[in-house]
Amino acid sequence: MDIEPIYPKTMTCTLCRHTFQTSRVRSRFVRVTGYDSDFRPNYKQLEANPIYYNVAVCPSCGYSFTDDFIPTFAPHTRHQLEQILSTNWTPRDFGGKRSASDAIETYKLAILTARLKEEKALPIAGLALRLAWIYRELNDEANEQRFLRVARDYYMTAYSEGDHEGTLMSEVRVIYMIAELSWRIGDREEAIRNFSRVIEAQNSTTDQKVVDFAKERWQAIREEK
Ligand SMILES: [Zn+2]
């Protein structure tokens, strides 16, 4: 019997407690061969893109979340979610296989959910970045740029609020993301300021990959002048 690249995972909606199934990609089907300079993974012979399956969408109320979401609610955010998201939700199931456009919808729902739930800026930046990556795959440059900018702005908020503390993401990586996304959206000034901060941190960080990426960009910027 052939093993499918995706498998169902049972989830419980944090908002309405409905139980439903979402799909995940088996790790044996995922081989990363490298990364774009904003850490988008490049996959080899991809049968199911794991990025498409990050977001679980409750078919009953529309609450859309990832493993990065905090499982509890402030009372007013629960109310906001029920009033704005759930009452306008038409039951829809994102289980099974997802197309790129399904995945795009799930990310937009997750960004809306995260805003209403008042999640920290860092996970919202990650959602916007992944959404931009899906548009990159589709060669939809206008939407890619739009969501790279959303991600960049959230990374700036995340940095000023110290959201990375207690996460796997280093401070220098947050600064690098601000630099790289600024570069990609044509905000040279913000890009140059932050790339230089990454390079200044080269002896104090263990995140060598971002230092290497920043040096490559720095070289390109110097050659351009
Ligand atoms: Zn629900």
Residues of the chain under the 50 pLDDT cut: none
Q: Calculate how far, in angstroms, residue 78's C-alpha sits from the geometric centre of ligand 1.
A: 11
Q: Calculate how far, in angstroms, residue 128's C-alpha sits from the geometric centre of ligand 1.
A: 22
Q: Calculate how far, in angstroms, residue 12's C-alpha sits from the geometric centre of ligand 1.
A: 8
The confidence score (pLDDT) of residue 2 equals 73
Q: Find residue 8's DSSP bridge partners.
A: 23
One-letter amino acid for residue 203 of the chain: N
Instruction: Measure the CA–CA gap between 59 and 19, rounded to whole angstroms.
Output: 9
% of the chain beyond a pLDDT of 90? 85
Q: Calculate how far, in angstroms, residue 82's C-alpha sits from the geometric centre of ligand 1.
A: 10
The confidence score (pLDDT) of residue 64 equals 98
The confidence score (pLDDT) of residue 110 equals 98
Q: Calculate how far, in angstroms, residue 29's C-alpha sits from the geometric centre of ligand 1.
A: 30
The confidence score (pLDDT) of residue 101 equals 97
Q: Calculate how far, in angstroms, residue 169's C-alpha sits from the geometric centre of ligand 1.
A: 29
The confidence score (pLDDT) of residue 225 equals 67
Q: Calculate how far, in angstroms, residue 214's C-alpha sits from the geometric centre of ligand 1.
A: 42
pTM above 0.75, yes or no: yes
Q: Calculate how far, in angstroms, residue 1's C-alpha sits from the geometric centre of ligand 1.
A: 34
Residue 57: exposed, middle, or buried by beta-carbon count in 10 A (0-12, 13-18, 19+)?
buried
Q: Calculate how far, in angstroms, residue 62's C-alpha sits from the geometric centre of ligand 1.
A: 6
